[in-house]
Chains A and B, each alone.
Chain A
Amino acid sequence: MLIEWLQSHLLSLMVFLPTAGALFILLLPKNEAASIKATALGFTLFTLLTNIWAWWFFHGLADFELQETLTWIPAFNIYYRLGVDGVSFLLITLTNFLMPLVVLSSWREIRTKLKEYMFLMLILQTGMVGTFAALDLFLFYVFWEVMLIPMYFLIGVWGSGRKIMAAFKFILYTMIGSVLMLVAILYGYFKGGQSFNFVDWLTIPFGLKEQLWLFLAFGLAFAIKVPLFPFHTWLPDAHTEAPTAGSVILAGVLLKMGTYGFYRFAMPFFPEAVRYFSPYILTLAVVGIVYGSLVAMVQKDVKRLVAYSSVAHLGFVILGLFALNQKGVEGAVLQMINHGLSTGALFLLVGMIYERRHTRQISAYGGIAAKVPVYAFFFIFVTLSSIGLPGLNNFVGEFLVLLGAFETKGIFGIVAVLGVVLSAIYMLWMVERVFFGKLEHEENKKLQDLGLREVLILVPLCLAMIGIGVYPKPIMNKMHSSTEAFLKLTMRTDAKASAQLLTPSHQYMKNDARIIKN
């Protein structure tokens, strides 16, 4: 009985297990560091196990699976409505995969206010999983905001350097975007029969002008999150000053909120606007790829370099999404996951060396490969993944994105190929200056190589990189029908057509909502 009940509430379980963990941590005494850490790790692992369990029940059909619907605020037609398609399911899996590693990485780094830190981490996880799982726009907005607050504190309290400025810039940027999104959500709510239901929105007959404005409002919120050039300047600051775990989550998951937002809401809701804006957005994406790479190249701080590289990598994701063919979109989704793994791993690695030397300046290193061979191995391995070496994860995604973009958007695909060259330049140049050459700085001669805990953090990530690089099919199989459905919706020419495009489960969700209402 219990098992069955749990099986039908897998998504809620994944959303609220971390909250339960957070509440549990509140009950623990402040100075019990070991049990606080153990609790946090335990709950994130538990969530991961639930996720693995859900993997067997998720079939990757076109419609939303693992659905749950409850009435929440009936007066305003607000529902607690969860459900995932292939893309959101994979992103949730990425989140839950990264969380235990991130908690492990904070083991020694966080020395002050550990209790509050772990509490916020777990709340953050609830926010992230919830954002991916929500199918009610109001619920989505709630989770979206829930996710921002802990991140603000993570940067502001546990960050380094100009952390207050970074945290403030982060919250300011994102708030501007989300406020506009809220306005757009409310406009649609009143325009389309007072419903926050994702499926209802697909059939709201927006006029062209409305579509353009609403797309801009949604799109700005998401573009800031991605970040799309020129809305990216919060990112280097936030990434650099955040604690390691914060950077990993920011890069690994939070940036995907932007691209996911485009995929889930902005593009299928406003197909006319997509057609209208797509040349501009493609331009910004390609500019981001080239510009981000070039600026990354001249950074003096390793973490800032990785941060700028994110601008380039996310440019590929947007390029793939707006290529509007299946190769491009699937490549983009794959790149969302790959970027989470590779850039996440890079931030973890930078954090590990920062813990030892308390500096991230490239010039403070040089020749350390001889001193810390295992660390160098992992770093170079992840670097190779990040620059898209065939056989590792990024290659598959980049290849599909570029192929898709070349096929339908010609010139944008051609310029984006430059990114392949540039990524090799900035990454390998950095590796050369940090790891190779003579060991000159006195402090580096005492560097300790990685310990068991750190190796345990990195090995799962590296195995995932090889896994996706060599055999991406199991992951791609989960998303085929979802991306097909996405393309049909985004490329539909009139709102009436969308009624026919809805899959059986979409329909089910609609009816289900009515039943509860009645």
Chain B
Amino acid sequence: MLRTLYQYIAPQTLAWLIVALPLAGATINGFYSLVASRFHKHASHSFTSLIGCGLPVLSFVISLLIFVTLIGFSAGQDPTMITGPLFQWVVTGNLTIDLGLKFDQLSLVMVLIVTGVGSLIHIYSMGYMGHDEGYARYFSYLNLFLFFMLLLVLGDSLVLLFVGWEGVGLCSYLLIGFWFEDPTKAAAGKKAFIVNRIGDAGFLLGMFFIYATLSSHNLPPTEHQYNFFNFEVIKHHSAYLMPVATPICLLLFLGACGKSAQIPLYVWLPDAMAGPTPVSALIHAATMVTAGIYMIARLNFLYVLSPTAMQVVAWIGAITAIFAATIGLTQTDIKKVLAYSTISQLGYMFLALGVGAFSAAIFHLMTHAFFKALLFLGAGSVIHAMGGEQDIRNFGGLKEKMPITAWTFVIGAAAISGIFPFAGFFSKDAILWHTFHGGHISLWLIGFVGAGLTAFYMFRLVGMTFFGQPQMGRGEWQKVHESPPSMGFVLLFLGVLSVIGGWVGIPEAFGGGDHFHHWLSGVFGKMVVHEGMEEGHAAEIILTVVSLLWSLHFAILASVIYAQRREWPTKMAEKFQFLYKLIFNKYWIDELYDFIIVRPLVTLSEKVFWGVIDAKVIDQYGVHGAGRLMIFWNRCVTAVQTGVVQQYLLFFVIGVVLILWGFVF
């Protein structure tokens, strides 16, 4: 069947459709929404949904086709494909930038996650956003996001990756501030964009560094000679980058810290929860925030050149993981808890990257996309049912009213806590094991403690939301209802993925084939993870069981406390008041940034630059000063012209005397 299809359209051409379809959707719905709002008409929901959901689904189907085609290659051949350049973007001097797409094992995984989870969330949004005024605008933004995200993961050069990188940032800005009439939401969108821009500045400098280094060598002339940003070219010449690998990798990592919300640039992500919940699920959990992980995985050949940079990545990841987890313990907004857990999980992925376990990072990225999307959509379902309420102290006992949401949420929580046999168990275990096995005992310990905290705060959330006694009024309790089938279906689907999603990577120690790792070894090479694995099986099993018990114990503890003994934690908080306040207020990091960066900068600009340098120094003393000098000179000259002859005579005599003085001496 595929064969017949490819008689009409080459797979390389078909591949462009994956990217182009969401763009078409964004354009159509965007134009439609704009025209409708200009003439104060309501955009038709069915048309919008057809375009807005149909095209992403189609894009997913095409991705599947390409996937099937590529794995159908004969044995021993890598499932990779590069489309020819669509066109040359920039050609100048010794620089060429072509636009092409690159399909390999890594980008295939990413494309399937993005289009698959993306399509599911589009479908879910039909129900969730059904009553919203800006329905068409919403789908336009969401489609645009898919377009840029696909460009990011499929682009064959660093520049194209950056185009997608900034583009998803834009969509994130637009969607966080989707309900822009609320000033805090609009401000959250702006904050996200600006904090990301700080990271992007680092990213840009990293790119420039790569370029400047490669172009300073006389590389052998080939057809790609000046394509310095192309991944293949960078990889091929990565030996030249050896001496400067550390600064390059750290600069690029700064970009990753922005996009993937790591210390010190994580502050935008909790605020980003102001956006509609499906957006939080898609952009701020499953896909966009993982772009940093993808980027480092894509440039793995560069990062392995710099052990220093790898160390930094691992440590930042581990510290972020445990730091965000502690904040997650105290938050009372259901989405904020999930936001901090996202930051923490992303930290785990960076930890994996930093210790060289690239495939484990991507594995966790994939399972995280499943279960975190599930958790967010479950939270969305609860918020939807509760009429916009997000404070978990006002929930409780919801499993009676919304069983599908409740039980899929429990699955998600079990998956993120790393409980057997759910998806997160295998991926988190892979990270911890590789950290331990690589000899990074202190990093492993941080990750291990963090895993316990994760289980605790997740089951705190589960207990307070779905179990125990309802904490809301009787009238509200009556109104609570299960969400419509379009949303329930998505929850169930993601629930299934959160269970079985990890089975593709069952490690060999447990008799599995570790297929996921083998699949990615085409990109990451085999060297990093596999030495001495066989002897380690016993140790791996012991460690896994320990960490399973550890997480399980916290999960049970939390659900018991928060479902049945709610007063305990309150007492604890009173006892350790300072610590509680510190954590509850998120360590006052936002306030700190405001105090040491934002306010001084504004004051400096307004009071010193504008008020003094522009107005006083340049204008008053400079420009007008020159004017006044003229006037002063003018006055001096006028003062002399008195019309009194005696005075003129005096001047004359003085002049003569001076001249004579000059002659004589």
Contacts and interface: CB of A to CB of B under 8 A. Distances in A.
A449 interface: yes
B291 to A, nearest CB: 14
Contacts of A330: 92-93
A421 B201 contact: yes
B242 interface: no
B211 A403 contact: yes
Given A233-B618, A370-B181, A407 B87 contact: no
A465 interface: no
A396 B602 CA distance: 29
Interface stretch (B66-74, B159-167, B308-316, B419-427): B159-167
Interface stretch (B183-191, B392-400, B444-452, B635-643): B183-191
Interface string B135-160: 00000000000000000000000010
B194 A428 contact: yes
A158 interface: no
Nearest to A304: B610
Contacts of B614: 233, 295
Interface string B181-211: 1110011001001100110110011001101
A424 B212 contact: no
A406 B205 contact: yes
B208 A402 contact: yes
Contacts of A476: 90-92
A480 B200 CA distance: 29
Contacts of B13: none
B604 interface: yes
Q: Which of B180, B200, B209 counts the most chain A CB atoms within 10 A?
A: B180
Size class of the A contact interface (CB-based, 8 Å)? 35 or more
A390 B180 contact: no
A425 B194 contact: yes
A230 B618 contact: yes
B366 to A, nearest CB: 27
A230 B621 CA distance: 13
A472 B609 contact: no
Contact of B215 (A389, A407, A414, A420): A407
A169 B190 contact: no
A421 B198 contact: yes
Nearest to B177: A436
B170 A389 contact: yes
Contacts of B601: 294, 297
A373 B87 contact: no
Interface in B202-234: 204-205, 208-209, 211-212, 215
A421 B194 contact: yes
A327 B92 contact: yes
Nearest to A449: B38
Contacts of A471: 87, 89
Contacts of A390: 162-163, 166-167
B167 A391 contact: yes
A437 B602 contact: no
A424 B38 CA distance: 28
A294 B605 contact: yes
A291 interface: yes
Contacts of B618: 230, 233
A418 interface: yes
B606 A298 contact: yes
Interface in A115-155: none
A120 B604 CA distance: 41
Contacts of A351: none
A369 B180 contact: yes
Interface residues of B, number: 53
A86 to B, nearest CB: 12
Interface string A406-424: 1100000110011011001
A370 B187 CA distance: 16
A6 to B, nearest CB: 33
A432 B186 contact: yes
A384 interface: yes
Contacts of B78: none
Contact of B95 (A403, A406, A413): A403
Contacts of A418: 201
Interface string A375-414: 0010000001000011100011001101100110000011
B88 interface: yes
A233 B94 CA distance: 38
B44 interface: no
Given A377-B34, A417-B204, A428-B190, A295 B181 contact: no
Contact of A403 (B91, B180, B198, B208): B208
A406 B167 contact: no
Interface in A296-320: 297-299
Contacts of A384: 170
B93 A169 contact: no
A389 B212 contact: no
Interface in A233-278: 233-234
A413 B208 contact: yes
Contacts of B92: 326-327, 330, 400, 476, 480
A418 B197 CA distance: 10
Contacts of A463: none
A242 to B, nearest CB: 18
Given A326-B93, A476-B91, A294 B609 contact: yes
Contact of B605 (A298, A369, A403, A473): A298
Nearest to A428: B190
Nearest to B211: A403
Contacts of B173: 428
A297 to B, nearest CB: 6
A335 interface: no
B194 A436 contact: no
Contact of A295 (B163, B193, B201, B610): B610
Contacts of A173: 623
Interface string B17-46: 000000000000000001001100000000
A327 B95 contact: yes
B622 interface: yes
Contacts of B605: 294-295, 297-298
Contacts of B476: none
Contacts of A294: 601, 604-605, 609
Contacts of B37: 373-374
Nearest to A294: B605
Interface in B596-635: 601-602, 604-606, 609-610, 613-614, 618-619, 622-623
A476 B92 CA distance: 8
Nearest to A479: B92
A53 interface: no
Given A327-B93, A406-B212, A417-B205, A473 B181 contact: no
A435 interface: yes
B87 A432 contact: no
Interface string A43-75: 000000000000000000000000000000000
A472 B208 CA distance: 20
Contacts of A367: 180-181
A83 B415 CA distance: 71
A439 B91 CA distance: 47
Contact of B88 (A230, A299, A435, A473): A473
Contacts of A429: 190
Contact of B602 (A169, A297, A327, A377): A297
Nearest to A410: B212
A273 B109 CA distance: 56
A230 B622 contact: yes
A173 B215 CA distance: 43
Given A373-B37, A374-B38, A420-B204, 15 more contacts: A173-B623, A230-B613, A298-B606, A384-B170, A390-B166, A399-B204, A403-B211, A406-B208, A437-B181, A438-B183, A439-B181, A471-B87, A471-B89, A473-B87, A473-B91
23 contacts: A169-B623, A172-B623, A230-B622, A294-B609, A295-B614, A330-B93, A369-B180, A374-B34, A377-B34, A389-B166, A396-B90, A399-B159, A407-B215, A413-B208, A417-B204, A420-B200, A421-B198, A428-B193, A429-B190, A436-B180, A449-B38, A471-B87, A480-B92
